[in-house]
Amino acid sequence: MNRIKGAIVAIVTPFIDGKVDEQGLRDLIEFQIAGGTHGIVPCGTTGESATLDFAEHKRVIELTVQAVNGRVPVIAGTGANSTSEAIELTESAKDSGADAVLSVVPYYNKPSQEGLFRHYQAITEAVDIPLILYNVPGRTVTNMLPPTVARCAKELKNVIGIKEATGSLNQISEVIRLCPRDFIVLSGDDFTSMPTVLIGGKGVISVTSNVEPAGMAKMMEAALAGDLALANELHYKLFNLMGAMFCYPSPAPAKKALELMGRIRSGEVRLPMTAMDDASLVTLKKAMGEVGLL
């Protein structure tokens, strides 16, 4: 799976009046590919997977695979805090033709490290598709520790990588040190994407790419090519925009930005997420203006 690298967008799921805007999603996919995005993740955290029902979840993945049509890898978000549900979503993603799946550490129920291993063991034994682990303890509570990641990488045949969203370069370094050389380590947040590549990672699964796919793609390409000067320059050019994507609970800022850019008809989010407040909107518009998005 050497195609999985660079700037991979955790794409938003556009809604109109509470329903998935299917044409809006198709249009976003074209915008992403035209901007040079290296891969697309439907139904990740930024895609509001937690508030999509099963039929919507499966449809968004199916639609994304169809619209992408093999031009870049599609890594479908199929995680759940129930192992059986994660297996069902993973089976559906495989049937839809996804290239790989992204499977978040089970949230809320706080499994042990052994429980995490067995969760991924059960998924990989049930469904034959490349799987990328997703460690984001800020949302799941449980931190999947580097030795557990390495155990999955070495013992489970389909575990090919991890989206590491601790924001800790120390933990990312430990994962890279302990895992096989071909194990794909992706940054789980935009702030650490450039340094993650410089210490051996392969890219980022990005929120900022939703609104600035070209800039994020160029930054990752520069970092992967060892062009530190250009990667550093682009990192700081995009730095305030990266922050603005989280100036209010995500994905409201990304969706509002896309609405302001005319890329989607509505920045609507689903409860319990809410539209941005006025102060956050000022921050977002300022950051967008700095990089010429408004």
Q: What does the pLDDT average to over 225-244?
A: 98
Largest separation between any pair of C-alpha atoms in the chain = 50
Q: Could you please state the CATH topology (level 3) that the domain comprising 6-227 is classified under.
A: TIM Barrel (3.20.20)
List all residues 6 or more positions away from 199 whose beta carbon is below 8 Å from its beta carbon.
Answer: 169, 172, 173, 176
| Tens-place pLDDT, residues 21-39 | 999 999 999 999 999 999 9
Closest CA to 8 of 30, 29, 39, 31: 39
| Tens-place pLDDT, residues 38-77 | 999 999 999 999 999 999 999 999 999 999 999 999 999 9
Contact call for residues 46 and 10 (beta carbons, < 8 A): yes
274 CB-contact burial (10 Å; exposed 0-12 / middle 13-18 / buried 19+)? exposed
Residue 1 confidence (pLDDT) above 90: no
What pLDDT score does 41 carry?
Answer: 98
List all residues 6 or more positions away from 277 whose beta carbon is below 8 Å from its beta carbon.
Answer: 248
Q: Specify the length of the chain in residues.
A: 294
Contact call for residues 174 and 205 (beta carbons, < 8 A): no
Q: Which residue has the tokens 């890898």?
A: 73
Residues labelled as active-site residues? 134, 163
Residue 268 confidence (pLDDT) above 80: yes
CA distance 4 to 173: 19
What pLDDT score does 131 carry?
Answer: 98
Q: Which residue has the tokens 């979503």?
A: 89
CA distance 145 to 142: 9
Instruction: Write out the H or E segment, with its range, that includes residue 10.
Output: strand 6-10
| Tens-place pLDDT, residues 127-161 | 999 999 999 999 999 999 999 999 999 999 999 99
Contact call for residues 110 and 149 (beta carbons, < 8 A): no
What is the DSSP-derived secondary structure letter of residue 199?
T
Residue 260 pLDDT level (bands cut at 50, 70, 90): very high
Strand intervals (E) in 73-151? 75-77, 100-104, 131-135
Residue 270 confidence (pLDDT) above 80: yes
Residue 13 confidence (pLDDT) above 80: yes
Q: Average pLDDT of the chain?
A: 98
R_g (Cα) of the chain, nearest Å: 18
List all residues 6 or more positions away from 180 whose beta carbon is below 8 Å from its beta carbon.
Answer: 153, 154
What residues does 161 pair with on adjacent strands? 132, 184
| Tens-place pLDDT, residues 98-136 | 999 999 999 999 999 999 999 999 999 999 999 999 999
What pLDDT score does 189 carry?
Answer: 95
What pLDDT score does 2 carry?
Answer: 83
CA distance 294 to 288: 6
Q: Is the pTM of this model over 0.75?
A: yes
